[in-house]
């Protein structure tokens, strides 16, 4: 984003509710996608993606006055670092409480599909669940590098230049990596 994003961050740090809302509207879909792919089924069996996203947003808003805006890449990096840390904290929480998240889970997180119940038949919901499981399973099998390039460019919406900077690569190297990652994912899904 641009100057308008900087204005939103500045407004949010000064308690402007409209600026806070606009920031959340801009970033919540990407954040949910990131959490859905990074939290994994074991954690998502215990907590909804929306609950984790809400917790991340609350932490961001509580610490916004300490954030020094240095561009949209820096803001996104801060947001997704907070999300990554939140995921690690939640796993640690369950381990510390002697909770076996693999055993205690209900076998699948269909909460995100329930909101569509009025629009789709049960068989369509089952198909959507199966397809989502298939994509998440294939994504989990990708290398960390392939996961990261797909997350940065396709889920978070960073430009290739921004993603290259984030990954410490040239734009050409990133483009080749993204091509290989998407080709590998496509092969897994065929």
CB 19 within 8 A of CB 7: yes
- Look up residue 120 and give its DSSP letter: S
pLDDT by residue (tens digit) across 146-177? Answer: 999 998 888 877 889 989 998 999 999 999 99
pLDDT for res 116 = 47
* Residue position matching structure tokens 């949209």: 72
- Look up residue 84 and give its DSSP letter: H
pLDDT for res 100 = 52
CB 181 within 8 A of CB 150: yes
Distance (Å, rounded) from C-alpha 77 to C-alpha 139? 21
pTM of the model: 0.66
pLDDT for res 69 = 75
Q: What is the DSSP string of 10-40?
A: HHHHTT-HHHHHHHHHHHHHHHHHHHHHHHH
pLDDT for res 184 = 95
The CA distances from residue 4 to 7, 112, 153, in Å, are: 5, 31, 21
* Residue position matching structure tokens 């205690």: 104
pLDDT for res 52 = 94
167: Cα separation from own chain's centroid: 17
Residues of the chain with pLDDT under 70: 1-3, 97-120
């Amino acid at each position: 984003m641009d100057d308008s994003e900087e204005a939103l961050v500045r407004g949010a740090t000064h308690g402007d509710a409209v600026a806070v809302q606009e920031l959340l509207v801009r970033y919540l879909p990407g954040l949910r996608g990131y959490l859905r792919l990074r939290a994994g089924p074991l954690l998502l069996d215990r907590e909804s993606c929306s609950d984790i996203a809400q917790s991340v947003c609350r932490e961001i808003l509580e610490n916004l006055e300490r954030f020094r805006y240095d561009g949209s890449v820096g803001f996104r990096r801060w947001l997704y670092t907070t999300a990554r840390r939140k995921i690690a904290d939640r796993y640690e929480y369950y381990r510390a409480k002697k909770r076996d998240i693999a055993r205690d889970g209900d076998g699948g997180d269909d909460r995100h599909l329930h909101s569509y119940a009025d629009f789709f038949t049960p068989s369509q919901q089952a198909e959507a669940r199966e397809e989502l499981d298939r994509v998440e399973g294939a994504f989990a099998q990708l290398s960390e590098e392939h996961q990261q390039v797909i997350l940065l460019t396709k889920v978070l919406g960073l430009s290739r230049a921004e993603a290259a900077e984030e990954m410490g690569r040239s734009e050409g190297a990133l483009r080749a990596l993204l091509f290989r990652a998407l080709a590998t994912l496509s092969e897994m899904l065929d």
